[in-house]
Amino acid sequence: QLTMSLNSSTLLNEENAQGAKGNTECLESLLQTPSSIQDNPLQQLQLASQEVLEKAKKSGRSKCPRCNSSRMFYCYTCFVPVETVPTKEIPTVKLPLKIDIIKHPNETDGKSTAVHAKLLAPDDVTIYKYPCIPEYEEKRHEIALIFPGPNSVSVKDIAFHLQKYTKKGVCSSDDDCSREPLLKQAKIEPEEEKNPSECTSSSRSEGTRLKKIIFIDSTWNQTNKIITDERLQGLLQIELKTRKTCFWRHQKGKPDTYLSTIEAIYYFLVDYHQEILKESYKGQYDNLLFFFSFMYTLIKDAKCCAEKE
């Protein structure tokens, strides 16, 4: 019943590194042979070559070019690949809308797949650490929040519900239309700011067009603090219902429809492409799972190797 970001994660954080040390022979065999993708539910994805990740896996941890921290594949604090993973060999995905990811302050950086989105779609994704988030009120006619709830709607109904926001009028009073844009918001996205006088002359088609989607990067138990924030009130909420997670850190006792952040982003975009843009999906966003699918296979193989021993 849910699709949001719940306890999303990267692979080789310190916790996993310690586990790997305890199974040296198994790990060495994995590093010497290509990972099997048999029975991998992600194997149908149209992905760029992951050879660069295979090479990085064999060479082990490397330095972040910005903070010099030792990382595997990428730095989850600087949002850049490590020295053994050339940026030019990482695919770039162009998204049809902007994405804001609001990360809970207690969510461990090394356990968040949110960074995958920033690495692979750097021009369209912004990550905020709560409570530092934008003010969304004046643009709620073009923004939606991925979160389940009694008033959540499906992706195919987005246009209809955003139109109702426009009918009510984003600028419902003279005060709303005449006041200056919020400085905090203007600093974050100056290119999207419009002259307040344009507010009343926006066309219906422009007013009902989704321009930004918000995801929450948090465990389920931590979401209440963020979702009840006044800056997120009144936003259209979208619920994804039909996908099952492949995430290796799935929360105990939670349904398998609870997706990691990068899975939620990917599946939303696939549905958006088909339901809203009305276009045939041909793998345009598959590379958002470039890191995720590689880590899934690596961990799956490691578990199989450990079970055999």
Could you tell me how many residues make up the chain? 309
Amino acid at 240: L
Calculate the average pLDDT of the chain. Answer: 76
Check whether 87 has a pLDDT greater than 50: yes
DSSP 211-253: -EEEEEEE-GGGHHHHHT-GGGTT-EEE---S-----TTPPTT
Segment holding 212, helix H or strand E = strand 212-218
C-alpha to C-alpha distance for 103 and 107, rounded to whole angstroms: 7
Q: Do the bridges between strand 212-218 and strand 143-146 make them parallel or antiparallel, or are there none, so unpaired?
A: parallel
Helices (H) and strands (E) in the chain, counts: 11, 10
Q: What percent of the chain has pLDDT over 90?
A: 49
| Per-residue pLDDT at 185 | 36
| Per-residue pLDDT at 111 | 81
CA 35-39-43 angle, to 5 degrees, is: 70
| Per-residue pLDDT at 256 | 59
C-alpha to C-alpha distance for 248 and 292, rounded to whole angstroms: 10
Q: Which two three-digit tokens encode residue 14?
A: 């310190």
Q: Which two three-digit tokens encode residue 183?
A: 């400085």
- Mean pLDDT throughout 250-257? 57
Site of tokens 């400085």: 183
Check whether 63 has a pLDDT greater than 70: yes
Among the four given CATH numbers 2.60.40, 2.50.20, 3.40.1280, 2.40.50, the one describing domain 91-162+209-308: 3.40.1280
Reported as a single tens digit per residue, the pLDDT across 112-149 is: 899 999 999 999 999 999 999 999 988 989 999 999 88
C-alpha to C-alpha distance for 217 and 229, rounded to whole angstroms: 15
| Per-residue pLDDT at 246 | 73
- Mean pLDDT throughout 77-91? 95
- Give the number of other Cβ atoms within 10 Å of residue 24's Cβ: 9
- Give CA torsion, residues 235, 236, 240, 246, to 10 deg: -20
C-alpha to C-alpha distance for 117 and 113, rounded to whole angstroms: 7
Reported as a single tens digit per residue, the pLDDT across 188-232 is: 333 444 443 343 333 334 435 899 999 999 887 788 889 999 999
Global pTM value: 0.74
| Per-residue pLDDT at 250 | 56
C-alpha to C-alpha distance for 30 and 11, rounded to whole angstroms: 15
Name the nearest CA neighbour of 48 among 86, 10, 78, 100: 86
| Per-residue pLDDT at 127 | 96
- Over the range 35-62, which residues count as b (16 or more CB within 10 Å of their CB) and which as e? bebeebebeebebeebebbeebbeeeeb
Which of these ranges, 28-32, 176-180, 295-299, has the smallest mean pLDDT? Answer: 176-180
| Per-residue pLDDT at 260 | 86
- Cite the residue boundaries of each domain of the chain with CATH code 3.40.1280: 91-162+209-308
- In the structure, what pLDDT confidence band is assigned to residue 168 with cuts at 50, 70 and 90? low
The radius of gyration computed from the CA coordinates of the chain, to the nearest angstrom, equals 21
Name the nearest CA neighbour of 260 among 3, 13, 44, 1: 3
Q: Which two three-digit tokens encode residue 176?
A: 């709303």
